[in-house]
Structure 1
Amino acid sequence: MINFPGDGVCHSSDGWRQGRKFAVTHSRDHVFVAVVLLLALALPLPLSADPPAGYYDPALGLTGESLRLALHEIIDDHSRFPYTSSATDTWDIVSEADRDPGLPANVITIYRNSSVLSSDHNTPTGWNREHSWPSSYGFTNDGSCNYPYSDAHQLRASSPSYNSARSNRVFDWCTSGCSEYTAEGVPFSNFGSGFGNNGSWQVWEDRRGDLARQMFYMETRYEGGTHGITGCSEPDLRLTDDRSLIISNTSANQSIAYMGVLETLLLWHLEDPVDAREQLRNDVIGSYQGNRNPYVDHPEWVCQIWTCSGADLTPPAAPSGLTANPGECQVLLDWLDNGEADLAGYSVYRSTSSGGPYDLIASVAAGTSNHSDGSGTVATPYFYVVSAVDTSGNESATGNEASAASQTGPACSPPDPGEIDLVISEVMANPQAVFDSAGEYFEIYNRGTATVDLAGWTIRDDDVDSQLIVAPGGLLIAPGEFLVLGNNSNSAQNGGHPTDYVYSAFFLANSVDEVVLGFTQGAAFVEVSRVNYTSSTFPYGAGVAMELIDLATIDTNTPVAWEAATETFGLGDFGTPGSGPVPPGPDADFIRGEVNLDGVIDISDPITILESLFGTMGPLPCADAGDVNDDGLINLSDVIFGLGVIFVGDPL
Structure 2
Amino acid sequence: MKKNYFLLLLMFVTIGFAQIPSGYYSTATGTGYTLKTQLYNIIKGHTNNGYAGLYTTYLTSDVDNFYENDGTILDMYSENPSGTDPYTYTTGTTQRCGNYSVEGDCYNREHIIPQSVFNEQSPMVADAHFITPTDGKVNGMRSNYPHGNVNSATYTSQNGSKLGSSAVSGYSGTVFEPINAFKGDIARMYFYFATRYENTIAGYSFPMFNGSSNQVFTTAFLNMLLAWHAQDPVSPREIARNNAIYARQNNRNPFIDHPEYVNQIWGGTSSTDTQAPTAPTSLVSTSKTSTSITLSWNASTDNVAVTGYDVYANSALKTTASGLTTTITGLTASTTYSIYVKAKDATGNTSASSNIISVTTNSSGTGTVTDLLFSEYIEGSGNNKALEIANNTGSSVNLSTYTIKKQTNGAGAWSTGLALSGTLTNGSKFVIVNNSISSSCFSTSAANISTTATELTFNGNDAVGLFKNGVLIDIIGTFNGGTANFAVDVTLRRKSTVTSPSTTFNLSAQWDSFSQDTCNNLASKMVQTATIEEEEIISDFNKILIYPNPSNGNFDVTTDNLDLSYSIEVFSFSGQKVFEKQNTTSPEVSIQNLSSGIYILKITTAQKTTYKKVIIN
- Quickly name the TM-score band, shorter chain normalised: 0.3 to 0.5
What TM-score comes out, normalization by structure 2 length? 0.35
Higher strand share: 2
- Rg comparison, structure with higher value: 2
| Structure with the larger RCO, 1 or 2 (CA within 8 Å, 6+ apart) | 1
With the length of structure 1 as denominator, give the TM-score of the two structures.
0.34
